[in-house]
Homo-oligomer: A and B are copies of this chain.
Amino acid sequence: MTTITFIGAGSVEFTRDLIADVLGFPELADAQLVLHDIDDQRLAASVGTAESVARQRGVRPTITACSDRRKALEGTDFVINMIAVGGHAATTADFEIPAWYGLRQTIADTIGVGGIFRGLRTFPVLEGIARDMLEICPDAWLLNYTNPMAMNVAYLAAVAPTLKVVGLCHSVYWTVRGLCEVIGVPFDEVSYSSAGVNHQAWVLRWERDGQSLYPLLDARIAADPELRRRVRVDMYRRFGFYPTETSEHSSEYVPWYLHHDVEVERLRIAVGAYIGISEDNLAEYASTRAALQAGEALEIDRDSTEYAPQVIHSIVTGTKRTIFGNVRNTGLITNLPQDYAVEVPCAVDELGVHPMHVGALPPALAALNRAFVAPGELAVQAALTGDPKLVRNAAMLDPNTAATLTVDQIWALCNELTAAHGDLMPESLRGALVL
């Protein structure tokens, strides 16, 4: 029997989708699902959600709530991490304080000052989970969903190098689905591969019957001026490979768009979009709770295609799959910084998750990725060494931040965000740093 522990299970919509997928596999129908959250109300809601899903799937897993994290790890095979340290309040700070300085962000969870501070407040909790796992369930896999993905995976690789970790994200999958819709080719007929860094990986191959589908995309773009009003299309036209995140998200990873009003307008970029998403999440949580209290069945997303249930199923049953996973760069992509995280194709089978060798990315893609990696790498180093200067350097190296603010503004902004996040920050990085 397979045991799966959900850390941060109170993200009930996500828990619902994952559990629905898990229980959709007959081999996992009797799984033991251990739900953990530090918020008791959310934990209760996650249990209700799991039970509701199980009923709809018509299966009888063992569902356990566990507010003690170490206990939740006992005997487990898989740990799915979905924590959001600081919650909605911290997210709001990550947007509002930079906005006050004139810095635009869209999602702010990956790089940028938002991503950097999200990383910094996540690392201590992540390290606790890793330490507990090495002690309590050293053979279990940690399947991480928490952002900033690349920073988190790199941080784990540094503090818990022997832990089995893979970071999972659906951006590659949905990117290719979307591309197929654009050109009107059925997704099922398509083969594809991608590599790079999470949220800025590149669709390196996208083929049907051995032929590249990019020429079809070119034709569509040429025919449709509105298509050209997407950040990703703009980047694709200039770099030759499609990036794997939404246009909103992609806009904040590069230095070209957000600080020009004209570009925000031209590319219809939804500045501050994530604030709304975060509020929607709160609302959806409330309605889920209401539905559970009312005894209503929760709707299952039949189109869910998250990797974690697939990875678990492959490891349990030996079914071979390829996923795009986030792992330490051990020479996998030769022209990106070693030891930071990369997102590469991984074969999954009963022996685990096996990253495939990619080699060198086309040089312009590698150069872009390296600029994307810089703030993450420095944020990780800041936490590892306890050097608060590196937090400021991380923000200075962030392409969008660097293109928008002066160095004094960046410094002040970091001091302010440090104060705002208070005790969530790693101990050595708290307090203002005055030049």
Contact = CB atoms under 8 A, between A and B. Distances in A.
Nearest to A240: B389
Contacts of A367: 374, 377-378, 393, 397
A292 interface: no
A374 B365 CA distance: 10
Contact of A370 (B318, B338, B374): B374
Contacts of A354: 345, 347, 356-357
A152 B426 CA distance: 39
A350 B206 CA distance: 11
Interface residues of A, number: 63
Nearest to A237: B435
A262 to B, nearest CB: 7
A71 interface: no
Contact of A403 (B210, B238, B402): B402
A268 to B, nearest CB: 15
A62 interface: no
A396 B238 contact: yes
A350 B238 contact: no
Contacts of A374: 367, 370-371
B390 A363 contact: yes
Contacts of A345: 347, 354
Contacts of A355: 356-357
Given A238-B407, A356-B355, A256 B347 contact: no
If over half of A's interface residues share one DSSP class (helix, strand or loop), that class is named, otherwise mixed; here it is mixed
Interface in A255-293: 255-257, 259-260, 262-263
A406 B260 contact: yes
Given A345-B354, A407-B256, A397 B371 contact: yes
Interface of A: 139, 191, 193, 205, 207, 210, 234, 237-240, 254-257, 259-260, 262-263, 318, 320-322, 330-332, 334-335, 337-338, 345, 347, 349-351, 354-357, 359, 363-364, 367-368, 370-371, 374, 377-378, 381, 389-390, 392-393, 396-397, 399, 402-403, 406-407, 411, 435
29 contacts: A139-B210, A193-B351, A205-B351, A207-B351, A234-B407, A238-B389, A238-B411, A238-B435, A239-B393, A240-B389, A255-B255, A255-B402, A256-B396, A256-B406, A259-B403, A260-B406, A320-B322, A330-B359, A331-B334, A332-B357, A335-B337, A345-B354, A354-B357, A356-B356, A363-B381, A364-B389, A364-B393, A370-B370, A371-B374
